[in-house]
Structure 1
Amino acid sequence: MQEIVGDSLARRLVEWGVDTVFGLPGDGINGLMEGFRRQREKLRFVLVHHEEAAAFMATGYAKATGRLGVCAATSGPGAIHLLNGLYDAKLDHMPVLAITGMQETSVLGAHYQQEVHTELLYQDVAAYNLMVTNPQQVPGVVDIAIRHALAMRTVAHLTFPNDVQVAAAGTDPYRHVSPGEPPTSSPVASQPPVPAGQADLARAAEVLNAGKRVAMLVGVGARHARDEIIAVAEALASPIVKTLSGKMVVPDDHPLTTGGLGLLGTRPSEELMEECDTLLMVGTSFPYGKYLPKPGQARVVQIDIDASLIGLRLPVDAAVTADARLALQQLLPMLQPRSDRSFLTKYQRERDTWRREMVALQDGSRDPIAPQYLISCVDEAATSDAILTCDSGTIATWAARHWTIRGNREFYLSGNLATMAPGLPYAVAMQHAYPGRQVIAFVGDGGFAMLMAEFLTAVRHELPIKVIINNNNAYGQILWEQIILGYPEYAVRHQQPEADFGAWARACGGYGAKVTDPKALPGVIREALAHPGPALVDCDVNPNEPPMPGKVQYDQAKHFTEAFLRGQPHKVATVATVARDKINELRS
């Protein structure tokens, strides 16, 4: 059988250690699909229902494994659908290779059906972006694309015209005026941990040793450095604050952490940022500057593997470009252990108060069901190594505050893009990558409905994911954003009837349940998590439960009040919910 370009591509992916491609076929990639078919013993093609989900799956696969994620889509609309998931990969610095189709070279420029020049469309999202026009370019450009994705932790893109896909591999159809050598390479990349420079470390140690009230802010870039983070924090008597994407870096029940920072963070984390005189940032460029110390308030040390991400939010007094684990190992002996732990002790007490308040909101007697109670039931029943994926929206608030990182638990969501809909595709990809672990998608009804067909993908591929839907029949985060800006809500609640996604799960051949009674919830959650196959619990929650900031600012309270005075349509129910929350907090 003659080897074609599609076959050559598939072989090269296998040589790079790729074992999975997420995608959806079309006539624009039939030659590539034939190559995948020929390599099906070594390269699994996971057929999805929407290309956006394929890109999310590739991104989720990369996030969970640290390996290259690969997705494929046909020309035109298929390639366009990949973009949202690819931007998720780009903004969260994940290595993903996107492979798309293109019309035959002979008709390009002729306004042919589905003629979308994806190499132009992908200019912003892909660091390496090429239309392959000669079979001799493969596999060299495949190597270059993959190296770009891995080295820069970003998106690379290759698009193949139909006629090139089925051309004999290695042939040259052109007569060249100035013969040149096609790219040659090998499927090998080097990604050694990068140590810190001694001068940078000395400067960092000087700044940190001079600090009186030191705080640490850690992100997902430090996920492999848990022990080192804790050791440095212990030496500096520093509270550890976590970004949302970095939630898994340190266990939530560790005595040194005060929890997250930002709109979904904790009050003690926000307040200590207002008081610290020195800040050590590790593995994060935290995008929300208003939650960081005011310029001039604190001296800043930042450690990041990517020098371009240092100093984006605050003036930096010491910059260390290095692998987080190596840098902290090198830095630790240079630090002077603190005897004064009053700053840490103060915020440990504040953290304990905050945790009691959060537990008080997990009230199983409330009807409608409190979303905090729903996630607390999941948290209690899940295994110690469970992976939780999450969507953007109010759902992220409940997960951030009530999903406890302990043991080997992990947590993933769309960090910097903050897009809806990745929770379910992430779960599919991560369950594929880790078949022996419990993988739970904790999603809202809005995000789930966007790509709900991928539950059927899980059933068909026998992936035992668990899906928990926090169903408020609304776009809850948008609702509260309207109110916090001082506007009465508009066009963010769905009309009746409410969806029964449990029925959809059963129709797909999985476990499905609809829960409206808080007394039934714990048992249903346990039953779903114990189910041997894909399972879904659709839980109706209180739609008027506000995702309150950790610390309410004056302007937020002012706009909230103005919205009510202008005629907030659900003000009675909302006020009742807020009052009930406050009573529970006071009782804690």
Structure 2
Amino acid sequence: MSTVSDFVIDRIQQWGVTRVFGFPGDGIGEFDGALGKAERKGEGLKYIRPTHEEICALMATAHAKFTGEVGVCIATSSPGAFHMLNGLYDAKMDNQPVVAIVGQQGLASLGTFEQQENNLERTFADVACYVQTIVSPEQAQAVVDTAFRTARTRLAPAVIILPHDIQGMKMEDAGREHWVSRSSAVAPSIQITPPEDELKKAAAILNAGKKVAMIVGHGANGATDEVLKVAELTGAGIITALRGKQVVPSDVPHHTQQLGLLGSGPSLTMMKDCDTLLMLGTNYPYAEFLPKTGQARAIQVDLKPEQMGLRYPTEVNLWGDVKATLAALIPHLDTKTDLSFQRMLADAMHDWDQEEQAQAEVEYEKLNPRLVYHELNKRLPPQAIVTCDAGTTADWYGHHIRLRRGMMGDLSGRLATMLAAMPYATAAKFAYSERCVICTIGDGAFQMLGMNELITIKKYMKDWENPQFIILVLHNDDLEQVSWEMRTEDGNPLWDTSQDVESIDYAGYAELLGFKGIRLKKGDDVGAAWDEAFAHRGVTLIDAYVDKNVPPIPAHISRQYMLNTAKALLKGDPEEGSVIVDSAKALFTEGVERAKGILHIGQDKEGEKNN
């Protein structure tokens, strides 16, 4: 007898799903039993069981990000369902298609205060683009198909709630009866292209622009060649959002990497000087770094129409897939002959890279975290996948990691939740087991749930084609990003009661599980540590004892940033001495390198005049 659970498992496979991330419990028990039965028959899904339901949801989100497929996570009723919320909000805020299947107590228990019975539809109403309880076998087909179709087209999580008694009921085919929907497991195309007249309007604006700037986000994934062609024709400089790093290869000279607090000086210059702005698949949230109102004519291309024209006043909004839209736009673009804007940005980026190297080479009381990332970047193998977390690892990832064509990288973007780097990296490894994956994470995030995932890795690594997996833990015994935010945003001194992270031997913990552990404390040893990790065909954890007071200096330091930091120090910051010394070193290095850059540009201009 085929049950509702059997049907749901078969149906999600029809939607192209081969791997799910789940954690069991009695509320989803009948469904789990059907998964086990299908596995024994060789017809099931690959079921990955990490150590926590939050990790399941984060892994499903990461799977969607790295593969473009729908991610699926499974959990039991109330406690398991609630644990998944953070990961589902990550999917919602980064526009990722995820379907969560959650258990529920039996139909007769709904609204009766039964153990583990809660109103899950109300719980998930905010995070999900579609949430529905299956209340009969005849309804199951339509609910499953609608969840997947909606998640795919709305680029958001959808939730299927499966009451325990429904899970084991005999499956009934959807008939022609009134109120019964007969649906299909067919995904609608999202390769949407705007109307021709709208494309021509956008082309006219780009053709008229003399200094065109592009901001490219993760929504442009898969459109690398089209993005580069548009930049070639329009003479545009290219900025990538932090989640868009992998879209544009780092060796493109006029690719100035990121913008804002984690961005480059040339990106800031581009925004100040541009007269035209093209935003592609990005909901870049920091409006203060975008051009002044009225400075630039702006165009936005996105599959999320509600997020267009939101950060900067746009003249044309093109609702469409970035790749398909650019392919249709390119024939309408003229070829610019004046590429001086691109050349200026390329020269500025060359100087910026020299400054970043100099910042990495500054010596502090403890190990410079910038140096650890700088040396990693030199050694990234082809096809590498790099993840980072929501703390200062995102700062150093943004400043020092340069993804070449074929490499991938990601993080929790708009939600910026801590600990995501580990489930992201593990999900990437399941999707691309032949690739080298590098997870970079702070000690605070690692202690949250990240350490647990070393257990997941140990459990599953035998299934990976290439067992190489590297974890970098920035070990500074401090929630460093929050410490700096307290100083620079609020003018408050470090409060060590809340900020201290209990120090443990992370390399030793990895060794307990049979992995390679490397303790890194000196700058002279950084290159050798990475060489050792990349030479090891297995799991390596680098426990890097880094200085916690290295300032994440943005490309432009605002007056308020400086005033707040000064206020924090005057209030008695316990790290006052180190903060002052370390900041002075960083600012001095920045000043010297920028002076060299100005001299370099001046010499180039003098040479052009003489020629």
The residue that corresponds to 1:333 in the other structure is 331
The residue that corresponds to 2:507 in the other structure is 502
SS at match of 2:355: helix
The residue that corresponds to 2:599 in the other structure is none
- The answer to whether the 8 A contact 1:364-1:518 is kept is no
In structure 1, how many angstroms separate the alpha carbons of the residues matched to 2:206 and 2:30?
Answer: 58
1:388 CA drift (Å): 0.5
Unaligned stretches of 5+ residues in structure 2: 594-611
1:239 CA drift (Å): 1.0
SS at match of 2:387: strand
1:366 CA drift (Å): 4.7
Q: Deviations over 1:91-133 (max 9, x none)?
A: 1111100011111122222211122221110001111101111
In structure 2, how many angstroms separate the alpha carbons of the residues matched to 1:431 and 1:107?
Answer: 41
The residue that corresponds to 2:169 in the other structure is 167
Moved more, 269-278 or 62-71: 269-278
The residue that corresponds to 2:399 in the other structure is 401
The residue that corresponds to 1:205 in the other structure is 203
In structure 2, how many angstroms separate the alpha carbons of the residues matched to 1:3 and 1:336?
Answer: 60
RMSD, matched Cα: 1.9
In structure 2, how many angstroms separate the alpha carbons of the residues matched to 1:546 and 1:116?
Answer: 46
1:506 CA drift (Å): 1.6
- The answer to whether the 8 A contact 1:364-1:519 is kept is no
The residue that corresponds to 2:606 in the other structure is none
In structure 1, how many angstroms separate the alpha carbons of the residues matched to 2:483 and 2:209?
Answer: 42
The residue that corresponds to 1:343 in the other structure is 341
Count of aligned pairs: 582
- The answer to whether the 8 A contact 1:7-1:38 is kept is no
The residue that corresponds to 1:522 in the other structure is 527
The residue that corresponds to 1:288 in the other structure is 286
Report 1:71-86 matches (<5 A).
Answer: 71-86=73-88
In structure 1, how many angstroms separate the alpha carbons of the residues matched to 2:179 and 2:305?
Answer: 34
Q: 1:128 aligns with which of 110, 127, 130?
A: 130
- Shift in CA distance, 157/495, structure 1 to aligned 2, threshold 3 Å: closer
The residue that corresponds to 2:601 in the other structure is none
1:542 CA drift (Å): 0.5
Report 1:300-315 matches (<5 A).
Answer: 300-315=298-313
1:11 is matched by which residue type in structure 2? D
The residue that corresponds to 1:175 in the other structure is none
- The answer to whether the 8 A contact 1:149-1:155 is kept is yes
- Shift in CA distance, 212/179, structure 1 to aligned 2, threshold 3 Å: closer
- The answer to whether the 8 A contact 1:474-1:493 is kept is no
Q: Deviations over 1:240-260 (max 9, x none)?
A: 111111111111221121111
The residue that corresponds to 1:431 in the other structure is 429
- Shift in CA distance, 224/368, structure 1 to aligned 2, threshold 3 Å: same
Q: 1:422 aligns with which of 398, 420, 423?
A: 420
Report 1:94-493 matches (<5 A).
Answer: 94-170=96-172, 180-363=178-361, 366-451=364-449, 452-462=451-461, 463=464, 464=467, 465-484=469-488, 485-491=490-496
SS at match of 2:29: helix
In structure 1, how many angstroms separate the alpha carbons of the residues matched to 2:549 and 2:365?
Answer: 12
1:248 is matched by which residue type in structure 2? Q
- The answer to whether the 8 A contact 1:473-1:493 is kept is no
In structure 1, how many angstroms separate the alpha carbons of the residues matched to 2:550 and 2:90?
Answer: 28
1:117 is matched by which residue type in structure 2? N
1:39 is matched by which residue type in structure 2? A
In structure 2, how many angstroms separate the alpha carbons of the residues matched to 1:190 and 1:108?
Answer: 34
1:483 is matched by which residue type in structure 2? R
SS at match of 1:189: coil
- The answer to whether the 8 A contact 1:478-1:492 is kept is no
1:261 CA drift (Å): 0.8
Q: Deviations over 1:156-202 (max 9, x none)?
A: 10111111112222289xxxxx9634322222213252223111111
- Shift in CA distance, 493/399, structure 1 to aligned 2, threshold 3 Å: farther
SS at match of 1:502: helix
Q: Deviations over 1:355-392 (max 9, x none)?
A: 11101122285551111111122222221210111111
In structure 1, how many angstroms separate the alpha carbons of the residues matched to 2:79 and 2:566?
Answer: 45
In structure 2, how many angstroms separate the alpha carbons of the residues matched to 1:323 and 1:317?
Answer: 18
Paired-residue identity, % = 37
The residue that corresponds to 2:19 in the other structure is 20
In structure 2, how many angstroms separate the alpha carbons of the residues matched to 1:475 and 1:421?
Answer: 12
Instruction: State the TM-score, normalizing by the size of structure 1.
Output: 0.95
1:323 CA drift (Å): 1.9
1:556 CA drift (Å): 1.0
Q: Deviations over 1:407-447 (max 9, x none)?
A: 31111001111111111001111100111011111111111
Moved more, 57-66 or 188-197: 188-197
1:494 CA drift (Å): 5.3
Deviating above 4 A after TM superposition, structure 1's stretches of 4 or more consecutive aligned residues are 364-367, 492-497
Moved more, 473-482 or 486-495: 486-495
SS at match of 2:418: coil
Q: Which has the higher helix share?
A: 2
Moved more, 91-100 or 357-366: 357-366
SS at match of 1:286: coil
1:32 CA drift (Å): 0.8
Q: 2:538 aligns with which of 515, 533, 536?
A: 533
Moved more, 391-400 or 374-383: 374-383
Moved more, 300-309 or 42-51: 300-309
SS at match of 1:325: helix
- The answer to whether the 8 A contact 2:359-2:586 is kept is yes
